[in-house]
Structure 1
Amino acid sequence: MAKRLIPLLDRVLVEKLAPPTKTVGGVLLPETASKMSEGRVVAVGPGRRSLNGDVIPVSVKAGDTVLLPDFGGTNVKLDSGSEFALYRDDELLGVLTS
C-alpha cells in the first residue's frame, strides 16, 4: 500500500527540481556554478492558528514553483521512491513566476 503524506499546520511538502545543466543558448554549466534551489509544491497544510484562534492560511498552493533556502527543511522519502522536503511556510524564500 502506497503512503501519502498530508502536511500539518503551516508545513509545505516540496519536490526539489533538478538544476539546469545547460543555458537556453546551449552552453554547458559547470557543477560549481551558482544554482538557485527550486522546488514544486506538492501539498500544503491548512495553516496555523493565530493568538485569537483564527487560521492563517499557507501563502503557497500546490503546483507553485518556489525558491528554497540552501539549508533547512526535513527530507522525506515515500514508497514511490521519490524524495521530497518538508518546510515551514515561513522558511520558503519566494514564489517563482514566468
Structure 2
Amino acid sequence: MSQTIAKLYPLANRVVIKRAESAVRSKGGIVLPEDKKTRLLRGTVVAVGPGQVNNEGERMPLSVKVGDDVILPDYGGTKLEIDEQKDLYVFREPDILARIAQ
C-alpha cells in the first residue's frame, strides 16, 4: 500500500474500500474478455472514519475496521484514483451490506 493511502483519513462514517479483482479465467479455464468479466461485490477495508456523531454529541463507532473483507452493493460508492491505485471506493458505512467473518 502506498504512503498516500496510509495518510488517507475518511471523515464521519465513511469507509475506503479496495474492490477485489474479477476473475480473468472461467472455472473451465477459458480466458474471459474484458466486457464479460463479472463485477465483484467484495472488497477489503483500507481506511475508516472516526464515526458519525449522534444527537447527544457522542461518536458512534463503526462496525468495520481496516483489513475486514466486506460485501458491497451493486452500485454506489465514490471512485478514487490515488497514486495509480485502481478499484478504491469510498462508501458510507450503512451502505456496506455485510462483513465476512475470517
Instruction: Give 1:36 deviation, angstroms.
Output: 4.6
- SS of equivalent residue, structure 1 residue 77: strand
Instruction: Give 1:57 deviation, angstroms.
Output: 0.7
Q: 1:77 — aligned with what?
A: 81
Aligned-pair identity (%): 32
TM-score by length of 1: 0.81
Map Cα deviations across residues 63-98 of structure 1 (whole Å, 9 max, x no partner).
Answer: 00000111000000102x112000000000001124
TM-score by length of 2: 0.78
Aligned partner of 1:60: which letter?
V
Whole-angstrom CA distance in 1 between matches of 2:78 and 2:37: 24
May I ask how many residue pairs the two structures share in their alignment? 93
Structure 1 segments unaligned to the other structure (5+ residues) = none
Q: 1:39 — aligned with what?
A: 43
9, 14, 17: which one pairs with 2:12?
Answer: 9
Q: What RMSD over aligned residues (CA atoms) do the two structures have, in Å?
A: 2.1
Cα pair 2:72 2:97 within 8 Å, conserved:
yes
Structure 2 segments unaligned to the other structure (5+ residues) = none
Q: 2:91 — aligned with what?
A: 87
Q: Tell whether 2:22 aligns with 1:19.
A: yes
CA gap of 1:32–1:17, structure 2 versus 1, over 3 A, is closer
Segments ≥4 residues shifted beyond 6 Å? none
Q: Tell whether 2:66 aligns with 1:65.
A: no
